Amino acid sequence: MAIEGAELIRAAALLGAGIAMGLGAIGPGIGEGFTGGKACEAIGKNPEEANLLTRTMLIGQAVSESTGIYSLVIALLLIFVV
Amino acid sequence: MSFDLGGYISGAAYLGAGISIGFGAIGAALGMGYTAGFADRAISDRPDRSGDIFKNMLIGQAMTETAAIFALVVAILLLFLKFGTDNMLTPYALLGAGICMGFGALGSGLGSGFPSAYACQGMARQPAVTSRLTTDMLIGAAVCQTPAIFALVVSFILIFAIPQGVSFSPYWAALLGAGFSTGLAGIGSGIGGGMAGGASCEGIARQPDSGRAATITMLLGQAVAQTPAIFGLLVSFVLLFGSYPPAEDIIMPISLLSAGICMGLGGIGPGIGNGLTAKEAVSWVSRNIYEAGLITRTMLIAQAVSQSTAIYSLVVALVLIFVI
Summarize the confidence of residues B89-108 as an average pLDDT. Answer: 95
Question: What is the pLDDT averaged over residues B118-126?
Answer: 95
Percent of chain B at pLDDT exceeding 70: 99
- The residue among B249 and B103 whose pLDDT is bigger is B103
Instruction: Give the model confidence (pLDDT) of B18-38 as tens digits.
Output: 999 999 999 999 999 999 999
3-state secondary structure of A3: coil
Give the DSSP letter of residue A61: H
Q: Could you give the CA distance from residue B298 to residue A61 in angstroms, rounded to a whole number?
A: 13
What is residue B24's predicted lDDT score, i.e. its pLDDT? 93
With CA atoms as reference, the chain B residue closest to A12 would be B254
**pLDDT for the residue numbered B165:** 83
Given a cut of 70, whether residue B94 has pLDDT beyond it is yes
Q: With 60 as the cut, is the pLDDT of residue B272 above it?
A: yes
Q: Chain A closest CA to B169's CA: distance in Å?
A: 12
Contact residues on chain A for B271, CB-CB shorter than 8 A: 29
Q: Could you give the CA distance from residue B271 to residue B43 in angstroms, rounded to a whole number?
A: 32
Minimal-distance CA residue of chain A relative to B264: A22
Interface test with A, best of B280, B290, B296, B303 (most A CBs within 10 A): B280
| Res. B117: pLDDT tops 60 | yes
Using a CB-CB cut-off of 8 Å, the residues of chain A touching B268 are: 25-26, 29
Q: Which pLDDT value is given to residue B262?
A: 97
Contact A29 B310 (CB under 8 A): yes
Report the pLDDT value the prediction gives residue B66, as an integer from 0 to 100.
95
pLDDT at B4 over 70: yes
Cβ neighbours around A36 below 10 Å, total: 30
Residue B123 in contact with residue B42, Cβ under 8 Å? yes
The answer to whether B263 and B181 are in contact (CB under 8 A) is yes
pLDDT digits (tens, 9 = 90+) for A3-62: 678 889 999 999 999 999 999 999 999 999 999 999 999 999 999 999 999 999 999 999
A57 touches chain B (CB under 8 A): yes
pLDDT at B1 over 60: no
Q: What is the mean pLDDT of residues B193-212?
A: 94
Domain spans in chain A, listed from the N-terminal domain onward: 38-82
Partner-chain contact A18 B291, CB within 8 Å: no
- pLDDT, average across residues B244-269: 94
3-state secondary structure chain B: CCCCHHHHHHHHHHHHHHHHHHHHHHHHHHHHHHHHHHHHHHHHHCHHHHHHHHHHHHHHHHHHHHHHHHHHHHHHHHHHCCCCCCCCCHHHHHHHHHHHHHHHHHHHHHHHHHHHHHHHHHHHHCHHHHHHHHHHHHHHHHHHCHHHHHHHHHHHHHHHCCCCCCCHHHHHHHHHHHHHHHHHHHHHHHHHHHHHHHHHHHHHHHCHHHHHHHHHHHHHHHHHHCHHHHHHHHHHHHHHHCCCCCCCCCHHHHHHHHHHHHHHHHCHHHHHHHHHHHHHHHHHHHHCHHHHHHHHHHHHHHHHHHCHHHHHHHHHHHHHHHCC
Q: Is the pLDDT of residue B188 over 60?
A: yes
CA distance A5 to B249: 12
Ordered by where they begin, the domains of chain B are: 5-322 (1.20.120.610)
Residues of chain B found within 8 Å of residue A25, distances taken between Cβ atoms? 265-270, 309-310, 312-313
Which of A30, A40, A69 would you mutate first to test chain B, the one with the most B CBs within 10 A? A40
- The per-residue pLDDT for A1 is 53
> How does pLDDT run across B142-156, given as a tens digit for each residue?
999 999 999 999 999
CB atoms inside a 10 Å sphere around CB B297: 16
Please tell me the number of Cα atoms within 13 Å of B292 on its side-chain side.
18
Partners of B301 on chain A (C-beta within 8 Å) are 36, 54, 57-58
